[in-house]
Structure 1
Amino acid sequence: MKFPDKPPIIEYKHELRSRYGETDRMGYVYYGRYLEYFEVARTEMIRSYGLSYRELEESGVMLPVIHTEIEYKMPILYDEKMKIKVMVFDTPAVRLQTFYEVTTSATDDVHIYGEVSLCFMNAETRRPCRAPESFINSIT
C-alpha cells in the first residue's frame, strides 16, 4: 500500500481497545473489524472539526464508501489498546480519501495500514456531488 509522498493536511489520532468478541480463536482481532475501527476513528476525526455524519446526512449529503484497502502486517490481540491514526492528504472535492495506521504499545512497528475512499453523494438524487463548503471550511 502506498501513501502519498507529502505531509497530510489532517492527522487525527484515536484510541480503542480490542474486545473479546472482536477476536478469533487465535486471540487475534478478526480482520474484518479493522474497517469498523477505521469508521470510528474517521467519524471522531470529522466530529473534532465541529461536524458530524448526522449533520451531513440531515443537510442532504451522504458519504458512502467506494473503495477500501488494508495491509495486515502484525496481528493485534485481545485487550490491546490501539492507536488509530487517520490522515487526509488532499482537500476533498467529490471524494474523501482517508489513510490509516494502527499501532499498539507492544511495538513501534505499524500493525495495520489502511485506505478508505468515500464519495460525497446527494441523498435525494443518489449522484456524486461536491463536498459541502461548510465541510471544506471546517477542515482547512
Structure 2
Amino acid sequence: MIISEKTIEVRYAETDQMGIVHHSNYIVWMELGRTQLIKDLGFSYAEMEKDGILAPVLDVKVSYKKPVTYGDIAVIKTWIDSYDGFKVIYGYDIVDEKGELAVTGFTSHVCVKKESFRPIRLKKMFPDWHEAYENAKKKQQPEDD
C-alpha cells in the first residue's frame, strides 16, 4: 500500500490557548500530506495549476482522537482512499511521535478548469497522473489485522 508521510513539528502559532493544536490546522496539515503524496507519485499540483487545472475540495471529514500539543512531532500519513477517474478521496491519519492516532480524515476533490470551473477527467488531460492514481488505488486493499 502506498502511504506518503509528512512530518510536522508543532509550532506555537498552530496551538490554541490550551497549547493544543487548533482544529483548523489539521486541514492545513492534510493539504501538506496530500501535496507530499502527489509529489511521491511523481507529480506536482503546482504544475497542474500552471496548466489551468485546479482540484477544489468538495468535502472534508475530520475525526479527533487525541490532542497534539506545542512542541510535539506529528506525522501525516496520506493515501488514495478511492478514485473513479473523476473524483479522488484522500485518506489521512495523523499520529503523534509515539505513533498514537490523533486524527483521522478524508477529503474529496475533482479537477476543474480554472477559467470555467467545469470538471475534467484526469485520464484525458493527465493520462500519466490518472494511471498513477489507478495503480495506487489498486494497491489500497484493506490489510487484515
Alignment TM-score, normalising by the size of structure 2: 0.83
The answer to which structure, 1 or 2, has the higher relative contact order (CA under 8 A, 6+ apart) is: 1
1:3 maps to which residue?
none
Structure 1: give runs of 5+ residues left out of the alignment: 1-7
AA at the equivalent of 1:80: D
Tell me if 1:130 matches 2:121: yes
Is the contact between residue 62 and residue 121 of structure 1 (CA under 8 Å) also seen in structure 2?
A: yes
Which of 20, 27, 49 does residue 57 from structure 1 map onto? 49
Segments of 4+ in structure 1 off by > 4 A? none
Q: CA RMSD in A?
A: 1.5
Is the contact between residue 37 and residue 79 of structure 2 (CA under 8 Å) also seen in structure 1?
A: no
Which of 92, 109, 132 does residue 100 from structure 2 map onto? 109
Structure 2: give runs of 5+ residues left out of the alignment: 136-145
The total of aligned residue pairs comes to 131
Q: Secondary structure at the match of 1:78?
A: coil
Shift of 1:92: 4.5
Is the contact between residue 84 and residue 101 of structure 1 (CA under 8 Å) also seen in structure 2?
A: yes
2:141 maps to which residue?
none
**Percent of aligned pairs with the same amino acid:** 27
My pick for the range that moved more, 53-62 or 25-34, is: 53-62
Alignment TM-score, normalising by the size of structure 1: 0.86
* Deviations 1:63-82 (CA, angstroms, capped at 9, x unpaired): 00110010011000001111
Shift of 1:54: 1.2
Which of 2, 6, 13 does residue 5 from structure 2 map onto? 13
My pick for the range that moved more, 26-35 or 86-95, is: 86-95
Q: Secondary structure at the match of 1:27?
A: coil
